[in-house]
Amino acid sequence: MKPLRLPMIITTICGASVGLANAQPALVPPNDLQQLPATKGTVSRYTLTPRGDVDGLIMADGTEVHFPPHLSTQLVLAIKPGDAITVRGLKALSVPLIAAIAITNDATGYTVVDSGPGAGPGAGSRGARQAMSLQSRVQMSLHGPRGELNGAMLEDGTIVRLPPPDAQRLAALLMPGQTIVVQGDGLTTAMGRVVEVQAIGPSEAQLNFVQRPGPPPRGPRP
């Protein structure tokens, strides 16, 4: 068998605190995908970014599967809730999460592969956002591709998203079983409902305000 040619991934697994890759999936030769760890499961639901793109899946056992949102359309066409799938990617050490490089629908054999950065809107990015205020109980915490806390899924299926620094600061509110009040900009799509949090707390009288991320810094002028 040809040796696995993933030096960046191997280094990250050995050295990162959460055991996730910082390497670009484009560095993975197609023939080496079969050598990545495989995890089987059943899709429970999609996860969403604040703009409504699908950025992964939650499996029936609670495992989060993170996938780049620029592949949102391909993922939604290939994989549906209830489908049995095989995920190849890198597992986090501290949380049940996989940074997926390839996801296969076991019934159809169709595989969606992350071959590197992309551009353009995803399947769920259309639609107007509106102000939302809701109260519900946290079903599970949600994380980014490196295991960073960045939101939660509520018992009614709503996804709430916060910037990781604020999510870490307010981590106690995002733990399973917590009843929370959330205010922010929401979007409802065929894939689910997501709220970009502006304020969150155990009650309306105890809200913590969230700093929205600003635009990316501009590069130096030529």
Residue 159 is predicted with a pLDDT of: 98
Cα–Cα distance measured from residue 38 to residue 97, given in angstroms and rounded to the nearest whole number: 13
Q: Which fold has domain 7-113?
A: OB fold (Dihydrolipoamide Acetyltransferase, E2P) (2.40.50)
Percent of all residues in the chain with a pLDDT value above 90, rounded to a whole number: 70
Residue 173 is predicted with a pLDDT of: 98
Residue 11 is predicted with a pLDDT of: 36
pLDDT per residue over 76-133, tens digit each? 999 999 999 999 999 998 899 999 999 999 999 999 999 887 655 455 555 688 999 9
Cα–Cα distance measured from residue 156 to residue 147, given in angstroms and rounded to the nearest whole number: 23
CATH code assigned to 130-209: 2.40.50.140
Cα–Cα distance measured from residue 176 to residue 48, given in angstroms and rounded to the nearest whole number: 19
CB 133 within 8 A of CB 181: yes
Residue 21 is predicted with a pLDDT of: 37
Domains 7-113 and 130-209 share a fold: yes
Q: Are strands 179-189 and 192-201 parallel, antiparallel or unpaired?
A: antiparallel
Hey, where are the domains in the chain?
Answer: 7-113, 130-209
Low-confidence ranges of the chain (pLDDT < 70): 1-31, 118-127, 213-222
Residue 15 is predicted with a pLDDT of: 37
- Residue 222: Cβ-neighbour burial (10 angstroms; 0-12, 13-18, 19+): exposed
Q: How many CB atoms lie within 10 A of CB 213?
A: 13
Cα–Cα distance measured from residue 70 to residue 94, given in angstroms and rounded to the nearest whole number: 26
